[in-house]
Amino acid sequence: MSIKADVQLDCKGLACPMPIVKTKKAMNDVEDGQILEVQATDKGSIADLKAWSDSVGHQYIGTKEEDGVLLHYIRKSGDDHNVEQKYENTITNEELIDRATNGGIILDVREEAEYAFGHIEGSKSIPMGELENRLEELDKDQEIFVICRTGTRSDLAAQKLAEKGFTKVVNVLPGMSSWNGDLAKKL
């Protein structure tokens, strides 16, 4: 299945250092938090784009191969800024396992690409930006454990849900960046 990206960049057939040079330029047109898909055939681009992302401060999400083309997913400025979390009802990653098996659902508000490369089995994906339009998919009577990568987006999502009349909402901290349990993929 294809993974949703906000911007796509064609680097097929290009040799090093072109995929990096073009990715750097393309990133200028990507907004913070959006996903860039880099299509490349240079096998070195797997290691290079990961190192490049780490070095420049973007979030390298993962790479998948499709018909001989490498599809790399990078989220711009993946470092969620150190915003103070405001939503008060929180639990830790460790507590989540026990709590969620008691009839609650885990709501993953990261981008679809981040979810695809590793999420908690059974969790539901609604990216933060789509939440407002997809509220009818959620049950107000059910406990909702909201998770993202570092707790920032899930904090905003929890606030949004509370505002919309959801009362049983819990933010999971710190989030997927330090998740030690099993990961399911959807590639």
User: Between residues 41 and 123, which has the closer beta carbon with respect to other proteins?
Assistant: 41
Report if residue 21 touches other proteins, rule: CB under 8 A. yes
Cα–Cα separations (whole angstroms), residue 100 to 52, 59, 85, 89: 37, 28, 22, 15
In the set 15, 16, 21, 51, the catalytic residue is: 16
Among 3, 5, 9, 23, binds other proteins (CB under 8 A): 23
Among 52, 117, 145, 166, binds other proteins (CB under 8 A): 52
For other proteins, which stretch binds (CB under 8 A), given 51-59, 123-131, 144-152, 158-166?
Answer: 51-59
- DSSP letter assigned to residue 142: S
For other proteins, which stretch binds (CB under 8 A), given 17-25, 89-97, 143-151, 172-180?
Answer: 17-25
Amino acid present at 175: G
Q: Give the Cα separation of 65 and 1 in Å (integer).
A: 11
**Which residues fall within 8 angstroms of residue 108, CB to CB, at 6 or more apart?**
115, 119, 120, 123, 124, 125, 126, 147, 148, 176
User: Between residues 15 and 183, which has the closer beta carbon with respect to other proteins?
Assistant: 15
Residue 16 annotated as catalytic = yes
User: Which string of b and e fits 119-146 if b means at least 16 CB within 10 Å?
Assistant: bbeebbbbbbeebeeeeeebeeeebbbb
Q: How far is the CB of 48 from other proteins (least distance, A)?
A: 8
Among 10, 16, 29, 167, binds other proteins (CB under 8 A): 16
* Structure-token pair, residue 132: 């407002």
Q: For binding to other proteins (CB under 8 A), which residues are involved?
A: 13-18, 20-21, 23-24, 48, 52, 55-56
Residues involved in catalysis:
16
